[in-house]
Structure formats: C-alpha cells, structure tokens
C-alpha cells in the first residue's frame, strides 16, 4: 500500500508541475461555461420564435451544457497529454525504472488525473448551469426541480469519463498526435453523425458520448426512444472507459517501455 501512496504523490507532483495541465483544464472550463452561457442567452431571446413542438421539449438544464461539445475537446487533450507525455518525452523509461509495478504506475497516474478532472468537471458543470439559468430568465430550471441535480452532477461525471476514456486510448496508442487525431474528430464530428443519421442511429447511441450525454437531459427529446435511462447511458459510457483502460494496461504490461 505504501508503494501506491508513494506513486500517487509522485504523480501529483508530475501533473501539477507541467503547464499543459493548467491550460487544458482552464480552457475546458472557459469553453464550456462561455458557450453554454451564450447559447442560453440566445435561447431565451429566441424562445418566442420557436416552433411549438420545440417549446414543449425545451430543456433549460441541457441548453446550459451546450458548451460541452467544445469543452470536452479540451478535456480530451488533458487526458491524452497526461499519459502520452511520458512516451513523447522519454520520461516513461525513468518513470518505470522508479515504479516497476506497471499497474501501480498506470493506475496511480490515471487516479490522480481523474481526481483532478472530476473536481474541474464539477466546478464547470455547476458554473455552466447557474450562469446558463441566469440567462434564461423566466424559462429557467431550478436545482430542486426533478432530475436537474442529477443532470448537473452528471455533467461533471460526463467530463471526467471523457478524460478517463482519453487516458485509456493514449495508453494504448502512446503517441499524443495519433491519440488526439483519432479522439477529437471522433467526438466532435463522427459520433454526432453516427448518432443522428437514421441508418446508424441504433449503433450510434451506444457510443460513449452519445450514451453518456443522456445524463445531462432533464426533458426527453421528442421522438427519443433510447433503450436506457440517464444512469444507464452513463453506465454504458463507463463500460467504454473500463475497456479503454484495460486495453491500455494490457499493452503497457506487455510492451517494452519506449
């Protein structure tokens, strides 16, 4: 146990002593909050012009999280860099000579980064919610309304899981450019397309972000008939994360350190 405690302390020193941690996480907060606030303000002003059908399914909680489409990209960069920096800098050889138990090394690193992502994710989610609702005027939701607190906490969990998934993928691929080159377009474009085109919808909604995103919805979208609830969706996302981390660990265990 002492070994784990030492590795965690070491990883905390590592993560707080590089600039990329600060800029990726702050970019994630700023993008999510700013864009969510802006879109909430726009929604409030456009509400009268909306078709009745959209007005009925208007979800004030969800609209304040609209910035996460961009904010999650910064979370992906954070998750990828935390792991792949070890490889791109050659630090991995020094790190594994110091902590030869590879499971201890990897999961201490992921644990520390996850803790930080969770804290930042929760702050982001609550800030985006309160600022967004402040823009929505009479259309606003309250934290005490049914399902709202779940959605806000879920927003923080969603960002944490995105970061964890990225860490797992980076542990498998090692190269930061390759990891980001796959993850960013996937979450920004491909997943959205797969989840919204009729032909691929049935598969698309089991993708990590499509499934996990349901936790942030309070009012179900019209015509939305997913076979899982908000927590079920987050659970599916969790399974993706477990798979990515397991893959990362197996490859780290098997490979030579370089």
Interface with another protein includes 1 (CB under 8 A)? no
18 contributes a contact to another protein by CB under 8 A: yes
The verdict on 4 binding another protein (CB under 8 A) reads no
Residue 98 found at the interface with another protein (CB under 8 A): yes
Toward another protein, which CB reaches closer, 27 or 257?
257
Among 29, 77, 99, 211, binds another protein (CB under 8 A): 99
Choose, by CB under 8 A, the member of 41, 57, 69, 93 that binds another protein.
93
Of the ranges 18-26, 118-126, 173-181, 182-190, which one interacts with another protein (CB under 8 A)? 18-26
Does residue 48 touch another protein according to CB under 8 A? Answer: no
The residue assigned the tokens 């860099």 is 81
- Give CA–CA dist 224/208, Å, rounded: 17
Judged by CB under 8 A, which of 26, 46, 56, 100 binds another protein?
A: 100
Candidate segments 13-21, 34-42, 52-60, 232-240, binder of another protein by CB under 8 A? 13-21
Q: 45, 54, 55, 101: which one contacts another protein (CB under 8 A)? A: 101
Q: Is residue 196 within the footprint of another protein (CB under 8 A)?
A: no
59 binds another protein (CB under 8 A): no
């Amino acid at each position: 146990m002492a070994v784990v405690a030492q590795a965690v302390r070491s990883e905390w020193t590592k993560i707080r002593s590089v600039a990329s941690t600060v800029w990726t996480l702050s970019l994630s907060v700023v993008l999510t909050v700013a864009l969510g606030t802006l879109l909430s303000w726009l929604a409030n002003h456009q509400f009268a012009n909306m078709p009745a059908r959209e007005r009925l399914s208007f979800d004030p909680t969800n609209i304040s999280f609209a910035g996460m489409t961009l904010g999650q990209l910064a979370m992906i960069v954070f998750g990828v860099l935390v792991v792949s920096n070890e490889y791109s800098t050659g630090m991995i050889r020094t790190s594994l000579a110091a902590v030869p138990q590879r499971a201890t090394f990897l999961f201490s690193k992921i644990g520390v980064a996850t803790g930080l992502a969770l804290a930042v994710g929760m702050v982001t989610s609550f800030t985006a919610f309160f600022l967004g609702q402040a823009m929505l005027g009479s259309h606003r939701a309250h934290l005490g309304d049914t399902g709202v607190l779940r959605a806000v906490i879920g927003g923080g969990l969603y960002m944490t899981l995105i970061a964890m998934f990225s860490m797992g993928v980076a542990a498998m691929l090692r190269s930061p450019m390759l990891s980001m080159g796959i993850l960013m377009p996937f979450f920004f474009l491909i997943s959205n397309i797969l989840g919204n085109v009729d032909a691929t919808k049935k598969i698309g909604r089991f993708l990590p972000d499509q499934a996990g995103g349901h936790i942030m919805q309070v009012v179900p979208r019209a015509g939305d008939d997913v076979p899982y609830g908000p927590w079920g969706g987050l659970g599916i996302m969790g399974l993706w994360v477990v798979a990515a981390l397991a893959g990362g660990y197996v490859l780290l265990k098997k490979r030579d350190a370089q």
